[in-house]
Structure 1
Amino acid sequence: MLSTVIFSLLVVIRFTFCEEKGLNITIIHTTDMHGWVNGHPHEPTMNANLGDIYNYMYHMKQKQGPQSKVMAFDTGDYSQGTGLSDATPIQGEFIFKVIQKMPYDGLCIGNHELKTNPCIDNVANNVVPFWKGRYLAINVHHINSSKKMGDRYFTLDLPNGKGKVLVFGWLLTWNSHDTNAYVTKVETSLKESFFNEAFAIPNVKLIICLCHIDTTNPEVELIRKFMKKNKPSVPVVMLTGHSHKKRTFVPSTSDYEMESDHYSRCLGLLNFVLPDALLNGNVTNADSLNITYKQQFLTTNVAQMQASAGIRNSSQWDTPTGLAIKAELKKKNDELHLSEVIGCSPKQYAAKDLYPIMVNKVLPSRFKFSTKFVYTMKNNVMRYPLYKGQIVYNDIFTIDPFNYSVRTYSNVKGEHLKKLAPLLNEYYFSDNLKSLNNSSTFELIHTMNEEKKITATLDTIARGVYKPRDLGYWFRPIFVDYVRNYMKCGKTFTDRGEGEGEETTVDVDSDQMTLTSFDEEQHAEAEEESVGATESADPIDEGEQHPKKKTFNTTTCIVCVVSACAVVAVAGVFVAILMAKKRRRTQRSLESVSFTNGEVEPLL
């Protein structure tokens, strides 16, 4: 609260005495949506759905004037996360269709759009043509050279002929895609000749790079530095994604990088002024501009979004298109039976706490709990908590968005399994591993997700002896059947193996859903998914700034405030008149953003 008050005071003083002149730019950013377009039923503070996000973008764009521009962008991963994205015949087909109603100025591809060939082909055949050059994928290609997975760049016009915004889009260097697409390295893509054409476009005043790349991945800085080398007079904004984190980074005095969480949990807002000197062509080095970026992660809470957009009367919030989107969401949700109650959970489980249940209870249930089977699962499959109370069909998709095939290694010796487990630290094994007879043989049940690493590791123990085979099962239906049969409301549920773990009675009525907040441990994408993507030596927690980000010094802030207050005291009457005029002019709460007269207003 104190920091908010100090920040607000500094902003008020700044724009009272030294108002910036130029073009006011506001960027609205979303990323890693993963099918989360219908709100968060278990987390009531995030009660906005895609229709509300449309409303927000619409109202913010309505504020544009001759001295301002509002742009909205998304940086990929639209599917594999909920029933609305994954219960359809083609992965993501409904999500891509409903997003067509959104007022995005540009989008880029994500790695999850390349997970299955039907999704790849849907992107090439339907998504790319619809966006008419504004769905970008510089380094992603379809195996059919006549089809595109995205365009390379486009431009947007600034108001009153003041210049252009040049927009590019990339996917991180990544090789875990299905067979109908391939990805070239980001570094290789920077050598393509089309950049000569793009950089020759006249009157470019801002470059925006849409990157489905983790902010800490060196490929982000590689792209930014390439932009600055070729267009040193132009500020660069990097909108990133993939890590499911809130991150910001100021790499120079003219550039900014922002990554805006995941699952539609927030909107990334960025507000700044392109100075008149830049717009008039009087700048050769953008770093001399010292652009001040104001940034906020706005929770997707309807009340907060209304306040930010300056909507004081909630009856003015919904728009015809927003209502149409909401109606489509409800219709598809009902059509897919995603709200059907299939069982109840006696308590709340974090995603990481579900793995013991999966290898000791869920997978064994398909094989009648035979003692001749050992089960394993890698710790990157479960993506969302299981909440206490009723379990609806959609909850299964949020927990397991991948639905990997179930496979086995047959006749694996007990002694080999005991050697295997310590070599796979990121894998969970069923509890019966500890009591295996060394000379006996077992079935090692796993999913396709684990197979590459298991095969390579087994070969170090007994080269060429064990080969995987498919069992004709998929994990998600096994999970659904388990919940229906073993997690019935009012029945006793044991969350570990026979005779172990916690035995709890599910005493929740079938029509009751528990709504609670949950601090879920976030997991980045699987390590093998990102070739060339490196983890930061000092991991950045959700919501923190990149270590190199420039921040206010507290002592300096206090000195500035005290000095400014002295000035205010001397010119009290004059300032009061100015502030009264300013309040009448903006007619909004402190949480909203104004786009009038080229001023940057606080994003609180």
Structure 2
Amino acid sequence: MQKQTALRLSEVNLLVVTDVHSFLAAHLHADGMCGVERCDASFGALLSFVQHLRAAGDKQGKDVFFFDNGDVVDGTGLSSATPVHGKAVLPLLTSLPLDALNCGNHELYQSRTVLEGLLGTVGPRPSFVGSWNGTYLTSNIVLASSGAPLGSRFALLKGRHGTRLLVLGWLYEMRDHCAAVNVTKIAAAVSEPWFAAAMAHAAHVDAIVLLAHMHYADPLVGEMLAAIRRAVGPAVLVQVLAGHSHIRASARLDARAAVLEAGHYADTVGFASFNASRGVSLHHSFVHEYVHMSRASLAAAAGVAAAAFDTPAGLALSRRIDETRDALGVSTALGCAPRTYRASAPLGADDSLWSLYLDVVAPAALFTPARNASQCFLTSTGALRYDLYAGRVTRDDVAMVLPFEDRLWVVQARGDVISKALASLNSGSAGGEDGEEGERPLRAEQAALPRYAATPSALAPEQLFDAIVGDFDRDAVAGAIRTAGGAAVGPPVRYDKAAVAARSIAPPPTDTDAWLRWARTLPQPPCGVASR
């Protein structure tokens, strides 16, 4: 990537972060996500950046809008250290001057995150959703209890310099959500009266912005745009801000519409900029840029000197983030890793995090007793989300590797049945559809990995095994095993309730706890110089 220069503002200017996954603090490691720089900008630095860019816009009489596109929970210890995932993250986000927010799929996996995190109140303070005064957008997410939208269907924004936007917030057609919500299909949502009411405002805005928590090339993007074009015609400018797939990408959708997706894990601030126009020009110009979440890049993009970059509000938020992390103990050291293990490395490689999981962590810390020959473990390979770095391993490092804290289940079946089920899962004839349901989708850098993996890799065909599986994979894996084994296979039972011969210790309550157990067996700090 070329050296960052100051962003050039047009009449309509949009900043967006997506799939932050609770990476509110600066990245702990030089993980390559910000090129040669470390992603050393916390959300306090992000706040300083937005304030500086808006000040530059004020001097030019131009508005700068700021959005979050969902998936703010699950990813670091800051999210998983509280019983309600994300409960410590959400209050920190309210310090950001966001104009609108979208809801991601990770906010919807646990009913407690919805009911206590997003909607819960403490004393006189409003809920997280309520604190945004109608700009937390859930165009196709409704509460199961009432059918009312979780947030607002749409919002009308007006900048201080007169720019007007109609903003909607969409989620892909998620099926594996918690019981607290329902997700409406796009075709059904755009046929509802509220959508027609929203489109009636299109004649009075400079552009429509779609916060779309889905891959930038998802066919649903085209479906939403087609619904807008049917309602308001070809002249209205449309900017889609996509997400979910954790990549940087952009594309033109038609002569007056474009889409931008801006990374993940707080490695990117996306910038979309264009002039307002009511014409029907064939190639309206959209500018899309990606700004690394490093302090140097943010300062350069804002056009300010590094020494003058931090604002009082930004510094205050950085302190709150650090204080919250300290209070939760996420920086507590567990042990010392001898080398760096990569989540994207192929199975069998010396630095493969998956080989470490399957060959060492699961047999030693997941099986009870350790290396129990009557147990096996199956998991989808989207589960490990981040590399494990050489040297000091903290609770935060473990949470970044495996943040979900899935409860564990057991399905009992013969080895040949489990092997047949695993082959079926990896062939695509069982499990999820298009990587959205039943498995955590692999990222591009994980292409060398199978969709599902197991340990041990070879099972004695006639032997009866307790197949251990996590919450997220339970239905897909148990379904494949039942399909392969027929009526002889019973339903899954909780691992901590299952009878296991010669059990010497209680099993870990979650898959993440197995990693914590293993990390505590590592040599203790201070850590020596280790290979990276």
Normalising by the smaller structure, the TM-score range is 0.7 to 0.9
C-alpha distance in structure 1 between counterparts of 2:467 and 2:187, whole Å: 40
Displacement of 1:254: 1.9
Aligned position for 2:318: 326
- What corresponds to 2:204 in structure 1? 203
The question of 1:31 aligning with 2:15 is answered no
Distance in 2 (CA, whole Å) between partners of 1:513 and 1:183 is 50
Distance 1:329 1:376 in 2: 36
- Quote how far apart the aligned CAs of 1:295 are: 1.8
Alignment partner, residue 231 of structure 2 = 230
1:124 aligns with 2:155: no
Aligned-residue offset at 1:58: 0.7
Q: Contact (CA 8 Å) 1:124, 1:142: kept in 2 or not?
A: no
Q: CA deviation at 1:160?
A: 5.4
Q: Could you tell me the percent identity over the aligned residues? A: 24
Partner of 2:191: 191
CA gap 1:511/1:339 in 2 versus in 1, 3 angstroms: farther
Q: Which segment is superposed worse, 325-334 or 150-159?
A: 150-159
Task: Quote how far apart the aligned CAs of 1:422 are.
Answer: 2.5
- Which letter maps to 2:512? R
Please name the residue that 1:561 is paired with: none
Corresponding residue of 2:54: 61
Q: 1:273 to 1:408 in 2, by over 3 A?
A: same
Quickly say closer, same or farther: Cα 1:435–1:169, change in 2 above 3 A: closer
Q: Which residue of 1 aligns with 2:355?
A: 356
CA, structure 1 residues 347+189, in 2 after alignment: closer, same or farther (shift >3 Å)? Answer: same
Is the 8 Å Cα contact of residues 378 and 450 (structure 1) preserved in structure 2?
yes
Q: Is the contact made by 1:390 and 1:513 (CA closer than 8 Å) also made in structure 2? A: no
Aligned to 2:439: none
* Secondary structure at 2:198 match in 1: helix
| Equivalent of residue 250 in structure 2, options 219, 226, 248 | 248
Alignment of 1:394-473 (within 5 A): 394-410=396-412, 412-425=413-426, 426-431=451-456, 433-434=457-458, 436=460, 438-466=461-489, 467-472=491-496, 473=509
Provide, for residues 525-580 of structure 1, a one-character-per-residue CA deviation record: whole Å limited to 9, x for no partner: xxxxxxxxxxxxxxxxxxxxxxxxxxxxxxxxxxxxxxxxxxxxxxxxxxxxxxxx
Instruction: Tell me which residue corresponds to 1:80.
Output: 74
Alignment check: 8 A CA contact 1:124 1:148 kept: no
Distance 1:190 1:389 in 2: 52
Structure-2 residue corresponding to 1:292: 285
- Distance change in 2, residues 1:148/1:320 (3 Å): farther
Cα deviation, residue 377, structure 1: 1.8
TM-score, length of structure 2 as denominator length: 0.83
Which of 351, 371, 374 is the matching residue for 1:372?
A: 374
Secondary structure at the aligned position of 1:173 is classed as: coil
The letter for the 1-side match of 2:168 is: F
Cα deviation, residue 124, structure 1: 2.9
Shift of 1:158: 4.7
Which of residues 480, 497, 503 in structure 1 aligns to 2:516? 480
Shift of 1:289: 6.3
TM-score, normalisation: structure 1: 0.73
**Contact 2:105/2:177, CA 8 A, preserved across alignment:** yes
Q: Aligned pair in 2 of structure 1 residues 268, 178: CA closer, same or farther (>3 Å)? A: same
Distance 1:193 1:481, change over 3 A: same
Per the alignment, residue 38 of structure 2 pairs with: 45
Matched letter for residue 101 of structure 1: S
Task: Name 1:385's counterpart in structure 2.
Answer: 387
* Two-structure CA RMSD over aligned residues (Å): 2.5
Q: 1:600: which partner in 2?
A: none
Pairing partner for 1:304 from 297, 301, 310 = 297
The equivalent residue for 1:100 is: 94
Amino acid at match of 2:219: P
Aligned equivalents of 2:528, 2:15: Cα separation in 1: 36
3-state SS of 1:421 partner: helix
Distance 2:531 2:91 in 1: 30
- Listed as ranges, the matches of 1:213-228 within 5 Å are 213-228=214-229
CA contact (8 A) 1:128 1:148 kept: no
Once the two structures are superposed, the pairs formed by residues 248-267 of structure 1 within 5 Å of their partners are 248-267=250-269
Matched AA of 1:359: L
**Maintained 8 Å contact 2:10/2:273:** no
In 1: Cα distance, 2:422 partner to 2:519 partner: 28
Amino acid at match of 1:114: L
Aligned-residue offset at 1:229: 2.4
1:82 CA drift (Å): 0.5
Deviation of the 1:165 alpha carbon: 1.2
Q: 8 Å contact 1:345–1:389 — kept in the other structure?
A: yes
Offset, 1:515 = 10
Work out the CA distance in 2 between the residues paired with 1:95 and 1:398.
15
User: Which string of whole-angstrom CA distances, capped at 9 and with x for unpartnered residues, describes residues 278-307 of structure 1?
Assistant: 3xxxx4x3xx26322222111011011111
The answer for unaligned runs of 5 or more in structure 1 is 16-21, 490-508, 517-604
- The SS at the match of 2:27 is coil
1:178 deviation in Å? Answer: 0.9
Q: Structure 1 residues 422, 147: CA separation in 2 closer, same or farther (over 3 Å shift)?
A: closer
CA 1:298 to 1:23, structure 2 compared with 1: closer, same or farther past 3 Å?
Answer: closer
CA distance in 1, matches of 2:155, 2:419: 56
Matched position secondary structure for 2:275: strand
Count of residues in correspondence between the two structures: 469
* 1:170-189 aligned within 5 A: 170-189=170-189
Q: Are residues 429 and 195 of structure 1, via their aligned partners in 2, closer, same or farther at CA, if it must alter by over 3 Å?
A: closer
Rg larger for:
1
Q: Deviations over 1:383-434 (max 9, x none)?
A: 1111122211101110111111111123x22332343332232221213x52
- Once residues 40 and 57 of structure 1 are traced to their aligned partners in structure 2, the CA distance between those partners, rounded to angstroms, is 19
Q: Deviations over 1:466-514 (max 9, x none)?
A: 22110232111121011111x225xxxxxxxxxxxxxxxxxxx625687
